[in-house]
């Protein structure tokens, strides 16, 4: 099975055809390649280059922006210090969120207030911030266009899902370097679903990404000038399971891998509603997947904390120890 390819230019020229294709693809497979997405190729390449410059810095320089300095879970994480399903992920990365001032919160404040704050940027590569922010605008715009198309494909108002995205939405990005595999591990990142509404994954030359589709692991190799799109947990919740977030992972190989993942988020102070689909689509819905050890929570901030506390227990123990037991779901 080959992953479907959708062309965003067709959305502008022949919307009905694009929406028909989108509906067919995502009713069966929640992953697809998107081409002609409007994100500048040279800008994308520049961001990858600057990312490599950062990862090539001495460990001591990278640790200056370590995530342990950020209550908002931003900054650098070295290999083996992020966890998926209790197992170590062997990748290093920079986590970047929406750039805002931190709020003054206490233990009685709404959870979402803890997540707003600044990013940590490497002073040795000042161009990284400027390039990322320009790239971010283009990527967000393409993602919002696809979000609108999803609503239209499901016969909802075009702004139905867009209303979930607002002024204090939690956008999240990971700039990632996967090392070569070793005898001890092949897990770049373990099996998981993405949070948020939609994920865009930009891959360089090296494969490793796999999605669990129809009971099998399907390799999703890089496709030139494309971005991989997959559905997040919040769209699964919003459509009561008509759209499905797909389990995926990254395996290490004999070659290092670089990728950038952008997660379009939701307003932090909201709960995810259920949108009423037309009877035909509602019949096809299989409901939201349930896993007692990894429940999908409709409260946006709670769903993010569930993920972050498990992924980064060192940061959680420093700043959010009062939440660890609440979100353990052991």
CA proximity to 161, closest of 262, 265, 298, 244: 265
Q: Is residue 103 classed exposed, middle or buried when 0-12, 13-18 and 19+ CB atoms within 10 A define those classes?
A: middle
In a domain, 329, yes or no: no
Confidence of residue 157 (pLDDT cuts 50, 70, 90): very high
What is the domain extent for residue 194?
5-323
Confidence of residue 328 (pLDDT cuts 50, 70, 90): confident
Q: Are 323 and 107 in contact (CB under 8 A)?
A: no
Quote the Cα angle for 95-99-101, to 5°: 120
Q: Give 39's contacts (C-beta < 8 A, 6+ positions apart).
A: 135, 138, 139, 142, 227
pLDDT, position 184: 78
In a domain, 122, yes or no: yes
What total number of domains does the chain contain? Answer: 1
In a domain, 11, yes or no: yes
The span from the first CA to the last CA of the chain, in angstroms, equals 36
In a domain, 13, yes or no: yes
CA–CA gap between residue 300 and residue 270 (Å, rounded): 6
Quote the Cα angle for 156-158-163, to 5°: 95
Half-sphere exposure of 311 (CA within 13 A, CB side): 24
Q: Are 204 and 48 in contact (CB under 8 A)?
A: yes
CA–CA gap between residue 99 and residue 72 (Å, rounded): 11
Confidence of residue 292 (pLDDT cuts 50, 70, 90): confident
3-state secondary structure of 39: coil
3-state secondary structure of 309: helix
In a domain, 219, yes or no: yes
Q: Is residue 248 classed exposed, middle or buried when 0-12, 13-18 and 19+ CB atoms within 10 A define those classes?
A: buried
Q: Are 79 and 63 in contact (CB under 8 A)?
A: no
In a domain, 60, yes or no: yes
Query: What pLDDT, in 10s, does the model give residues 103-134?
Result: 999 999 999 999 999 999 999 999 999 999 99
In a domain, 328, yes or no: no
pLDDT, position 330: 56
Which region among 21-35, 101-115, 189-203, 243-257 has the lowest average model confidence (pLDDT)?
21-35
pLDDT higher than threshold 80 for residue 290: no
In a domain, 330, yes or no: no
- Please report, for the domain that includes residue 199, its CATH number: 2.60.120.330
């Amino acid at each position: 099975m080959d992953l479907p390819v959708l062309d965003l230019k067709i959305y502008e020229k022949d919307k009905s055809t694009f929406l028909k294709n989108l509906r067919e693809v995502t009713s069966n497979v929640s992953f697809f390649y998107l081409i002609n997405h409007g994100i500048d190729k040279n800008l994308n390449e520049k961001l990858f280059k600057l990312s490599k410059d950062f990862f090539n810095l001495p460990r001591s320089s990278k640790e200056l922006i370590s995530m342990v300095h950020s209550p908002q879970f931003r900054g650098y994480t070295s290999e083996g210090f992020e966890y998926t399903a209790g197992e170590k992920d062997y990748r290093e990365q920079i986590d970047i969120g929406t750039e805002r001032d931190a709020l003054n919160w206490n233990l009685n404040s709404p959870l979402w207030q803890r997540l707003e704050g600044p990013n940590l940027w490497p002073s040795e590569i000042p161009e990284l911030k400027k390039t990322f922010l320009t790239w971010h605008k283009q990527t967000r715009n393409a993602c919002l266009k696809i979000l609108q198309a999803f609503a239209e494909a499901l016969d909802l108002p075009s702004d139905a899902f867009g209303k979930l995205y607002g002024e204090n939405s939690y956008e999240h990005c990971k700039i990632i370097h996967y090392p070569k595999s070793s005898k001890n591990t092949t897990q770049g990142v373990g099996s998981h679903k993405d949070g948020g509404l939609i994920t865009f994954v930009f891959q360089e030359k090296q494969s490793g990404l796999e999605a669990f589709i129809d009971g099998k692991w399907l390799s999703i190799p890089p496709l030139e000038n494309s971005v991989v799109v997959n559905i997040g947990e919040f769209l699964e919740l919003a459509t009561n399971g008509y759209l499905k977030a797909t389990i995926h992972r990254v395996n290490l190989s004999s070659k290092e891998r670089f990728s950038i993942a952008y997660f379009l988020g939701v307003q932090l102070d909201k709960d995810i509603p259920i949108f009423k689909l037309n009877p035909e689509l509602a019949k096809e819905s299989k409901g939201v997947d349930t896993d007692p050890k990894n429940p999908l929570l409709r409260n946006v901030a709670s769903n993010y904390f569930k993920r972050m506390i498990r992924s980064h227990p060192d940061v959680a123990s420093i700043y959010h120890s009062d939440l660890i037991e609440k979100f353990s779901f052991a």
